[in-house]
Amino acid sequence: MDRKGLILPRSALEVDVLPAARVLLGCTLEADTPDGPVAVRLVEVEAYRGADDPASHSYRGLTPRTAVMFGPPGHLYFYFVYGMHFCANVTCMADGEPGAVLLRAGEVTSDLDVARHRRPTARRDAELASGPARLAALLGLGREHNGADLTDPESTVRLLAGPPPAAEELVTGPRVGVAAAAELPWRFWVAGSPAVSAYRPATTRRRVARGSSS
């Protein structure tokens, strides 16, 4: 299949994180998995800028972990959370300026039988890619995909351009589960999509001293 004309151009993501988040809504993320191709239409994303965003991994500068965020736009940036889950982000902004958009949720647009086989614990089809960890698991994405070029038609994971949601469908609100800059309305989602994840504000975890039974 010739995907060259369908791929989202890199230039579309060479913008600030907020317009990049809007660009990504309605696009399709497609991956080759051992069970066959799986694709989701992105319906919820979350923006993270670099130097002025304390919730961003790149806030404290360039490190081996965040190097992908400082590179060209249109690449995957992965991180591991709670020692259990991978989360996929798409880099944006100009080369050398850190920024990324977390992919929070999608609606399956490929063969549902394949998707259900890959996520057998999902109770409903709307839950197949609802939440960043579920989305990454459904598409088979992990640490080995860190830095993958989503604008390369030959890549095993690709970002396809799609019609954006109508203006009345676009909703913004606070980001999920961040303690820093929690008030920023940098989460974007498609109103009415059953795949959009539930909003959960950050909670402060009390550290327990060693030897304590509580």
pLDDT for 63 equals: 86
Domain of 80: which CATH number? 3.10.300.10
Task: Note whether residue 209 is domain-resident.
Answer: no
Assess if residue 205 is contained within a domain. no
Strands 76-81 and 85-91: antiparallel
Neighbour count for residue 56 (Cβ, 10 Å): 22
Is residue 103 within 8 A of residue 21, CB to CB? The reply is: no
What is the structure's pLDDT at 103? 97
Do the domain assignments include residue 207? no
Q: Does residue 195 lie within any of the structural domains?
A: no
Low-confidence ranges of the chain (pLDDT < 50): 1, 203-214
Q: For residues 172 and 142, is the Cβ–Cβ distance under 8 A?
A: no
pLDDT value, residue 19: 97
Report which of 13, 4, 29 is spatially closest to residue 153, judged by C-alpha positions: 4
Domain membership of residue 23 (yes or no) is: yes
Whether residue 90 is contained in a domain is answered as yes
Residues spanned by the domain of 124? 10-190
Inside any domain, residue 213? no
What per-residue confidence (pLDDT) applies to 59? 77
| pLDDT on residue 209 | 33
Cα–Cα distance for residue pair 4/191, rounded to 1 Å: 30
112 lies in some domain: yes
pLDDT of residue 207: 35
Contact 157/106 with Cβ under 8 angstroms? no
pLDDT of residue 203: 47
Tokens of 118: 């890959």
Total domains present in the chain: 1
